[in-house]
């Protein structure tokens, strides 16, 4: 049955509340730059990963490991070692972006299920089928740049399961190809494991307001009482043509709960919730809403209507308290 609910687990507490509130699977990372959320205080050591696996498996759920950054020549063994650890722990699947790492995993652990990460930037069925033929990929997570008709075209031409982002932070870039923060910091999120690394972020109270800087570059300035978000280049406010505004992307969250009947019709295998950097309370609330919505659309897609209470909860958890259908819905086309 399609529409598995895949939820974020930035730590063991988030993993448990996701499972308790109805996630079919959770995804997590090891405590290093082999995953794309390598923030201080997040992620799992081997003992925590083993406990998370036990907790999930005892309840009939699955745990997916994100190894979705790109190793370099000098640190290749860290990534292959992470694959070995995942296999030893009994992870249900690896989420991979690097083709060399896929080759290693498929060759050494042919029984281990492999998913193509959104960081692999595969936006066409030709690319997805390439990874299936070469490395046995069983599921692909699509970047958040395709319209629903484009997604449908992908689904129609591949036997690979397709996973779509359903809710959470929205990226305006094609995932896996963003180099914005590396212009400021010299570290690519695709290899360092984080966009806007914490060591390069500085907050300063000034007479003009609270300022956020990335390696010395001013990204935003907040007035008294204005809510401040984590500073990233794509969501900074910049002076352009005499005006200061969100020149690249306004803070908002992707929310596709209205599109669940279409996703069910297309045979989408799983809905992914973004937010490994978020709190357990966030994970609990989002998981509970999406579990109820997916169950409702599976019972009767024809009469499915998102509950106002669901939308109210998701709006409170959205960046800027606003949401969008993103690229999935393009009425101007």
**Got the DSSP string for 284-299?**
HHHHHHHHHHHHHHHH
Q: What is the CA radius of gyration of the chain?
A: 20
Pick the CATH number of 4-170+252-328 from 3.20.20.70, 3.30.450.20, 3.40.50.11540, 3.40.640.10: 3.20.20.70
CB 72 within 8 A of CB 191: yes
CB 117 within 8 A of CB 34: no
CB 26 within 8 A of CB 6: yes
Distance CA 27, CA 291 (A): 16
CB neighbour list of residue 6: distance below 8 Å, 6 or more residues apart = 23, 24, 25, 26, 27, 64, 163, 270, 271, 272, 273
**pLDDT at res. 45:** 97
User: Backbone phi, then psi, for 319, in 5-degree steps?
Assistant: -65, 130
Length of the chain: 333
Task: Give the chain's mean pLDDT.
Answer: 92
**pLDDT at res. 333:** 59
Give pLDDT tens digits along the chain (333 positions).
689 999 999 999 999 999 999 999 999 999 999 998 888 889 999 999 999 999 999 999 999 999 999 999 999 999 999 999 999 999 999 999 999 999 999 999 999 999 999 999 999 999 999 999 999 999 999 998 899 999 999 999 999 999 999 999 877 777 777 778 888 888 888 888 888 888 899 999 999 899 999 999 999 999 888 888 788 888 889 999 999 988 887 777 889 999 999 999 999 999 999 999 999 999 999 999 999 999 999 999 999 999 999 999 999 998 766 778 777 777 655
Residue boundaries of the structural domains of the chain: 4-170+252-328, 180-246
**pLDDT at res. 1:** 60
Closest listed residue to residue 314, CA positions, set 329, 295, 292, 331: 292
**pLDDT at res. 263:** 96
Residues forming beta bridges with residue 270, ordered by sequence position: 4, 163
**pLDDT at res. 229:** 78
Distance CA 25, CA 8 (A): 9
Distance CA 226, CA 221 (A): 9
**pLDDT at res. 312:** 93
**pLDDT at res. 167:** 94
């Amino acid at each position: 049955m399609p529409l598995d609910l895949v939820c974020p687990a930035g730590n063991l507490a988030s993993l448990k509340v996701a499972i308790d509130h109805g996630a079919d699977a959770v995804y997590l990372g090891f405590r290093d730059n082999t995953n794309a959320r390598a923030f201080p205080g997040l992620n799992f050591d081997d003992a925590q990963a083993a406990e998370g696996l036990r907790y999930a498996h005892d309840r009939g759920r699955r745990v997916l490991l994100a190894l979705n950054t790109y190793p370099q020549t000098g640190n290749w063994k860290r990534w292959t070692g992470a694959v070995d650890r995942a296999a030893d722990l009994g992870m249900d699947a690896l989420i991979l972006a690097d083709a060399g790492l896929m080759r290693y995993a498929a060759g050494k652990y042919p029984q281990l299920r492999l998913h193509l990460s959104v960081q692999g930037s595969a936006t066409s069925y030709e690319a997805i089928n390439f990874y299936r033929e070469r490395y046995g990929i069983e599921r692909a997570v699509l970047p958040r740049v395709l319209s629903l008709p484009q997604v449908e075209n992908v689904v129609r031409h591949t036997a690979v399961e397709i996973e779509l982002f359903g809710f959470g932070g929205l990226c305006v870039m094609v995932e896996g190809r963003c180099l914005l923060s590396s212009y400021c910091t010299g570290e690519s999120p695709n290899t360092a494991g984080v966009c806007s690394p914490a060591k390069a972020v500085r907050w300063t109270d000034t007479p003009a307001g609270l300022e956020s800087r990335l390696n010395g570059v001013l990204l935003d300035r907040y007035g008294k009482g204005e809510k401040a978000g984590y500073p990233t280049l794509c969501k900074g406010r910049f002076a352009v043509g005499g005006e200061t505004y969100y020149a690249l992307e306004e803070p908002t969250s992707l929310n596709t709960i209205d599109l669940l009947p279409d996703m069910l019709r297309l045979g989408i295998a799983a809905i992914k919730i973004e937010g490994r950097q978020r709190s357990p309370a966030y994970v609990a609330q989002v998981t509970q809403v999406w579990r109820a919505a997916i169950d409702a659309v599976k019972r009767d897609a024809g009469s499915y209507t998102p509950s106002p209470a669901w939308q109210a909860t998701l709006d409170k958890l959205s960046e800027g308290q606003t949401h969008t259908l993103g690229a999935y819905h393009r009425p101007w086309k």
